[in-house]
Amino acid sequence: MIPHSLDIPERRNQTERFVRRMMGFKVVIALSDELDLKCSTVGGFTGPAVHQLLPDNPEPVRTIVVASKPLQAAVDKVQRCLAFDAILLHELGHVAEHGFPVVDQQSDREHFQNLCSTPITEWPSHTGPKWAGHDCRFIRALLHIHHRMLSRGHRTPCLRLAFNHVAYGLSRIETYRDALGTEPEDNDWPPLAEILVDPMPAGFQTLWTNDVVRSLGLPTAATDFDSTISVTKTGRTYEHATQ
């Protein structure tokens, strides 16, 4: 079933079924109000241990939390659904980017509540350059997810709503989409994990490199720069959020 309801809980249920068919695995979508979380600084988040917030302590499952606050701020049902879809699209990009092999990493409710009350730029996964947590691998995954949703009939929101290029100090998402070429169309069915380990298309790689050089204020030309540069973290697997 293609998500169509303007009622958010029902749209969530429809979207879970749609995403499971598209991704090939289950993804639980929870609203922050249902979890008694006050999300004042994020639109949504995901991570390998987020399932621990779900009631009845279920077995590990990939989980996305959508903040209720931006939905409640929408002027009507249509805008509310656009906001829901945009947050979900962004977080699915993180799920596809990392694969998130779900683990029983212990993170209590206080940990997640602190995250929801902390500016994203202060999250462990988002410290450093403005694009930290949203580098070339995330952008590539997001564009593939967006294409797959469209090709399967989901009227997904404008990509610009799911990617705040100004906050990240990067080029517009439409520019990245053009630079990726026909890669999403040519790879509509293989698992994304297989696609994302392949080399980036040359134009996409050059665009990313130029953005990094510009955002970091480096004098190095793109041709002399490691175009796969990204922020990496060791040890704990960090949560990722919609800004």
Per-residue model confidence (pLDDT) at position 242: 56
Greater pLDDT, 189 or 158: 189
Per-residue model confidence (pLDDT) at position 9: 94
33-91 tens-digit pLDDT: 999 888 877 889 998 888 888 887 667 889 999 999 889 888 899 999 999 999 999 99
Q: Phi/psi of residue 42, each to 5°?
A: -130, 155
The backbone region for 219, taken as left when phi is positive above 0, alpha when psi lies in -120 to 50, beta otherwise, is alpha
Measured CA to CA in angstroms, residue 48 lies from 42, 140, 149, 240 at distances of: 18, 20, 23, 10
Q: Is a pLDDT exceeding 60 seen at residue 113?
A: yes
Neighbours of 5 (CB within 10 A): 15
91, 149 contact by CB (below 8 A): no
CA distance 2 to 11: 9
Per-residue model confidence (pLDDT) at position 240: 53
Residue at 168: amino acid letter: Y
Contacts of 23 (CB under 8 A, 6+ apart): 92, 95, 96
CA distance 226 to 218: 12
Q: What is the mean pLDDT of the chain?
A: 84
Contacts of 138 (CB under 8 A, 6+ apart): 93, 94, 97, 240
Greater pLDDT, 115 or 53: 53
218-243 tens-digit pLDDT: 876 544 444 444 433 323 334 455 55
The backbone region for 241, taken as left when phi is positive above 0, alpha when psi lies in -120 to 50, beta otherwise, is beta
Neighbours of 215 (CB within 10 A): 15
Greater pLDDT, 158 or 5: 5
pTM strictly above 0.95: no
pLDDT band with cut points at 50, 70 and 90 for residue 14: very high
Greater pLDDT, 3 or 34: 34
Contacts of 187 (CB under 8 A, 6+ apart): 144, 195
Q: 108-112, 166-170, 182-186, 226-230 — which is least confidently predicted?
A: 226-230
Per-residue model confidence (pLDDT) at position 76: 94
pLDDT band with cut points at 50, 70 and 90 for residue 116: confident
CA distance 7 to 62: 23
pLDDT band with cut points at 50, 70 and 90 for residue 117: confident
Neighbours of 145 (CB within 10 A): 27
Ranges of beta strands (E only) in 54-183 are 62-66
Per-residue model confidence (pLDDT) at position 123: 74
